Structure 1
Amino acid sequence: MQAAIIAVFVVAYAAIALEHPLGINKSATALLGAGVLWILYSMSSPDHAGVMHQLDESVASSAEIIFFLMGAMTIVEVIDAHNGFEIITSQIRTNRLATLMWLVGLVTFFLSAVLDNLTTTIVMTSLTKKLLDDRDDRLFFAAMVVIAANAGGAWSPMGDVTTTMLWIGGQLSAVAIVRDVVLASMVSLLVPLVMVTWRLRGRAFVPKPIDADPAAATNNVFERNLIFFLGLGILVLVPAFKAVTGLPPFMGMLFGLGILWLGAEIIHRHKPPEQFEHLTLAHALTRIDLSSVVFFLGILLAVATLEHSHILTALAAWLDQTVGRQDLIVLILGLVSAIVDNVPLVAASIGMYSLAQYPPDSFLWQFIAYCAGTGGSILIIGSAAGVAAMGIEKIEFFWYLRRVSVLALLGYFAGAAVYVMQYNLMH
Structure 2
Amino acid sequence: METIIILVFVFGYLAITLEHSIKIDKLIPALVMMAISWALISLGIDTFPQWFDSAKHTLMENFGLLSHEEKMHMMEESLLHHLGKTAEILIFLMGAMTIVEIIDYFDGFSTIKDAVKFKSRKKILWLFACLAFVLSAIIDNLTATIVLISILQKIVKDRDIRIWYAGLIIIAANAGGAWSPIGDVTTTMLWIGNKVSTGKLFVYLFIPSLLCMVVPTFIASLLKPFKGDLEIVESDDTPKNRFSATMLYLGLGAIIFVPVFKVITHLPPYVGMMLSLGAVAIFAEIYTSSRFTMGQVKQGETIDSGHHSPVHRSLSRIEMPSILFFLGILLAVAALESLGILFGFATTLQETMPMLGTEYHGEGVSDLVVLLLGVGSAVIDNVPLVAASLGMFSEPMDNELWHFIAYSAGTGGSMLIIGSAAGVVAMGMEKIDFFWYLKKIAWLAAIGFIAGAAAFMITRSVF
What TM-score do the two structures reach when normalised by structure 2? 0.87
Q: 2:123 aligns with which of 99, 103, 108?
A: 99
Percent identity of paired positions between Structure 1 and Structure 2: 45
Deviates more, 1:317-326 or 1:290-299: 317-326
Deviates more, 1:298-307 or 1:201-210: 201-210
Q: 2:315 matched to 1:285?
A: yes
CA distance in 2, matches of 1:234, 1:333: 34
Q: Which residue of 1 aligns with 2:13?
A: 13
* C-alpha contact (below 8 Å) 1:81/1:278 kept by paired residues: no
Q: Which residue of 2 aligns with 1:388?
A: 425
Q: 2:347 matched to 1:317?
A: yes
Deviates more, 1:274-283 or 1:401-410: 274-283
TM-fit CA distance, 1:252:
1.1
TM-fit CA distance, 1:277:
3.3
Q: Which residue of 1 aligns with 2:460?
A: 423
Q: Which residue of 1 aligns with 2:377?
A: 337
Map 1:7-406 → 2, pairs under 5 A? 7-46=7-46, 47-199=71-223, 200=225, 202-211=227-236, 217=239, 220-221=241-242, 223-269=243-289, 274=304, 276-277=306-307, 280-325=310-355, 326-354=366-394, 358-406=395-443
TM-fit CA distance, 1:275:
6.7
Q: Which residue of 2 aligns with 1:410?
A: 447
Q: Which residue of 1 aligns with 2:57?
A: none
CA distance in 1, matches of 2:221, 2:308: 37
CA distance in 1, matches of 2:5, 2:290: 57
User: How big is each residue's C-alpha offset from its partner over 1:87-106, in whole Å with a ceiling of 9 and x where there is no partner?
Assistant: 11111122211010001001
User: How big is each residue's C-alpha offset from its partner over 1:278-304, in whole Å with a ceiling of 9 and x where there is no partner?
Assistant: 661101111112111111111111011
Look up the equivalent residue of 2:200 and give its one-letter code: A
* C-alpha contact (below 8 Å) 2:285/2:309 kept by paired residues: no
Q: Which residue of 1 aligns with 2:297?
A: none
Cα RMSD after superposing both structures = 1.6
Look up the equivalent residue of 1:249 and give its one-letter code: P
* Cα 1:271–1:148 shift into 2, 3 Å: same
CA distance in 2, matches of 1:290, 1:88: 26
Which protein has the bigger helix share?
A: 1
User: How big is each residue's C-alpha offset from its partner over 1:151-205, in whole Å with a ceiling of 9 and x where there is no partner?
Assistant: 0000111101111111111111100110111111111111210111111454112
CA distance in 2, matches of 1:225, 1:125: 18
| 3-state DSSP of counterpart to 2:414 | coil
TM-fit CA distance, 1:212:
5.0
Look up the equivalent residue of 1:61 and give its one-letter code: K
* C-alpha contact (below 8 Å) 2:125/2:165 kept by paired residues: yes
| 3-state DSSP of counterpart to 1:382 | coil
TM-fit CA distance, 1:425:
3.8
CA distance in 2, matches of 1:299, 1:271: 40
Q: Which residue of 2 aligns with 1:4?
A: 4
Deviates more, 1:262-271 or 1:80-89: 262-271
CA distance in 2, matches of 1:119, 1:174: 20
TM-fit CA distance, 1:211:
4.5
User: How big is each residue's C-alpha offset from its partner over 1:1-39, in whole Å with a ceiling of 9 and x where there is no partner?
Assistant: 222211111110000000111111111110001011101
* C-alpha contact (below 8 Å) 2:95/2:274 kept by paired residues: yes
User: How big is each residue's C-alpha offset from its partner over 1:58-112, in whole Å with a ceiling of 9 and x where there is no partner?
Assistant: 1111111111111111111111121101111111122211010001001110111
CA distance in 2, matches of 1:152, 1:290: 26
Aligned length: 418
Deviates more, 1:195-204 or 1:31-40: 195-204
* C-alpha contact (below 8 Å) 1:268/1:276 kept by paired residues: no
* Cα 1:421–1:257 shift into 2, 3 Å: same
TM-fit CA distance, 1:311:
0.6
CA distance in 1, matches of 2:88, 2:341: 24
User: How big is each residue's C-alpha offset from its partner over 1:93-132, in whole Å with a ceiling of 9 and x where there is no partner?
Assistant: 2221101000100111011111100000100111111110
CA distance in 2, matches of 1:315, 1:271: 56
TM-fit CA distance, 1:220:
3.2
User: How big is each residue's C-alpha offset from its partner over 1:234-285, in whole Å with a ceiling of 9 and x where there is no partner?
Assistant: 1111111111111111111112111111111112226998474366110111
| 3-state DSSP of counterpart to 1:376 | helix
CA distance in 2, matches of 1:42, 1:298: 17
Which fold has the larger relative contact order, with Cα–Cα distance below 8 Å and residues 6 or more apart in sequence?
1
Q: Which aligned runs of 4 or more in structure 1 are off by greater than 3 angstroms?
A: 210-213, 270-279
TM-fit CA distance, 1:226:
2.3
* C-alpha contact (below 8 Å) 2:220/2:226 kept by paired residues: no
CA distance in 1, matches of 2:305, 2:192: 47
CA distance in 2, matches of 1:267, 1:93: 29
Q: Any stretches of 5+ residues in structure 2 without a counterpart?
A: 47-70, 293-302, 356-365
* C-alpha contact (below 8 Å) 2:178/2:209 kept by paired residues: yes
TM-fit CA distance, 1:324:
5.0
* C-alpha contact (below 8 Å) 2:216/2:445 kept by paired residues: yes
* C-alpha contact (below 8 Å) 1:277/1:283 kept by paired residues: no
